[in-house]
């Protein structure tokens, strides 16, 4: 569906200029496939940026979660604890492997998984003699979760952590880049992310053998013989050499994109400083968010709702989006167990994401701010 020329999108792609060089290189070499110099280069450059041992370039972040679960031996009859306040792609792969998701509520400071609810859930399962096979932890909107507390708890119960850092490339906790704390880290390069490969993802790990096995599974698990021989079920999950070329160009401007997204957030704070009814997602000491999206909640009992703001913005040709609907409230996961739930439900009821693209102009932000100020002054 086409939009007016002045339509402001939530988070559009932003090219840096060198992407075409790498893509043209792939055409020149005739490596228009799921192998080639760009795939290898993108993996090496991403791993080097993160300080990870290695990375596997995949077709999506969802594929990365799927393969991470397989790497940890998750299968039918197992449970995986998962943030409830996230996009459905975080939890769908748990069902791909035949396991059962158990959802954990958020805490109100970072909006990420609540350590208290997590410990309650783990104690409950320990008493039942049935600890989860893994924890799928999500860093929302670029904001790090409370990693110190969460890792202390999961280490005590010996539950491995998969970090879903799809929205958090370039974010740091206590100086360490997200996606490098758990057994495996997941990234997405969808068109709306801070950098993009048009569609794609990656799995990173400190364990080189885990990534080596992931690459093998992502290329249909072909055995190293001169004919097609398979002993294990594989998947067609490898990133294309063309898309990886886009990613290499995007990686070169990642730090600039982080600065630009953070500047967008700061601009909103200044432009909307007079609107006391808004509560912005904070950044605690030691937390560094890439500010993938600039988000707020409307204060409880306010005469203007977040949905009324969204509709007012849409009427002005501006895209805004509610915060994630908790997965335990989704019909898809009806009947799933959840520990807590009130915090994430409240965030969904009162929250909104504003246009946050790194190419967003100050003039566009002023358009957004003026609509919001008008709604509160009416």
Catalytic positions, written as ranges? 193
Residue 5 three-state SS: coil
- Helix/strand/coil for 230: coil
Comparing CA positions, the residue from 252, 261, 292 lying closest to residue 20 is 252
- Coil vs helix vs strand at 243: helix
Q: Are 205 and 183 in contact (CB under 8 A)?
A: yes
217 contacts 232 by C-beta, under 8 angstroms: yes
Nearest CA among 140, 101, 139, 141 for reference residue 121: 101
Q: Are 187 and 204 in contact (CB under 8 A)?
A: yes
| Distance from the Cα of residue 269 to its chain's centroid | 23
Q: Which residues pair with 200 in a beta bridge?
A: none
User: What is the spatial distance between Cα 154 and Cα 150, in angstroms, rounded to a whole number?
Assistant: 6
CA-to-CA separations, 319 to 3, 6, 308, 353, in angstroms, rounded: 10, 11, 13, 9
């Amino acid at each position: 569906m086409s939009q007016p020329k002045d339509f402001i999108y939530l988070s559009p792609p932003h090219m840096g200029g060198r992407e075409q060089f790498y893509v043209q290189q792939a055409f020149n070499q005739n490596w228009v496939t799921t192998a080639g110099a760009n795939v290898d280069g993108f993996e090496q450059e991403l791993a080097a940026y993160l300080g990870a041992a290695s990375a596997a370039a995949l077709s999506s972040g969802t594929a990365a979660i799927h393969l991470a679960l397989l790497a940890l031996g998750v299968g039918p009859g197992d449970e995986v604890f998962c943030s409830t306040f996230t996009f459905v792609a975080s939890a769908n792969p748990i069902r791909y492997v035949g396991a059962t998701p158990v959802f954990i509520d958020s805490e109100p400071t970072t909006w990420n998984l609540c350590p208290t609810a997590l410990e309650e859930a783990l104690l409950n399962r320990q008493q039942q003699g049935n600890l989860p096979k893994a924890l799928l932890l999500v860093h929302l909107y670029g904001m790090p979760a409370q990693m110190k507390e969460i890792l202390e708890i999961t280490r005590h119960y010996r539950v491995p952590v998969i970090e879903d850092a799809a929205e958090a490339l370039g974010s740091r906790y206590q100086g360490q880049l997200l996606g490098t704390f758990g057994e495996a880290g997941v990234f997405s390069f969808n068109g709306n992310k801070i950098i993009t490969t048009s569609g794609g993802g990656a799995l990173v790990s400190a364990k080189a053998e885990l990534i080596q096995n992931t690459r093998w599974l992502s290329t249909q698990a072909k055995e190293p013989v001169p004919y097609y021989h398979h002993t294990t079920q594989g998947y067609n999950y490898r990133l294309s050499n063309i898309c990886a070329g886009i990613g290499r160009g995007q990686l070169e401007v990642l730090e600039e994109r982080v600065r630009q997204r953070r500047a967008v957030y700061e601009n909103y704070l200044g432009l909307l400083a007079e609107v006391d009814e808004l509560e912005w997602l904070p950044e605690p000491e030691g937390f560094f968010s890439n500010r993938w999206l600039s988000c707020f909640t409307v204060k409880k009992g306010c005469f203007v709702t977040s949905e009324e703001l969204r509709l007012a913005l849409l009427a002005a040709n501006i895209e805004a989006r509610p915060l994630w609907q908790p997965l335990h409230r989704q019909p898809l996961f009806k009947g799933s167990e959840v520990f807590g739930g009130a915090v994430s439900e409240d965030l969904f009821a009162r929250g909104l994401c504003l246009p946050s693209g790194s190419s967003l102009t100050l003039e566009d932000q002023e358009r957004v701010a003026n609509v919001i100020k008008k709604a509160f002054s009416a």
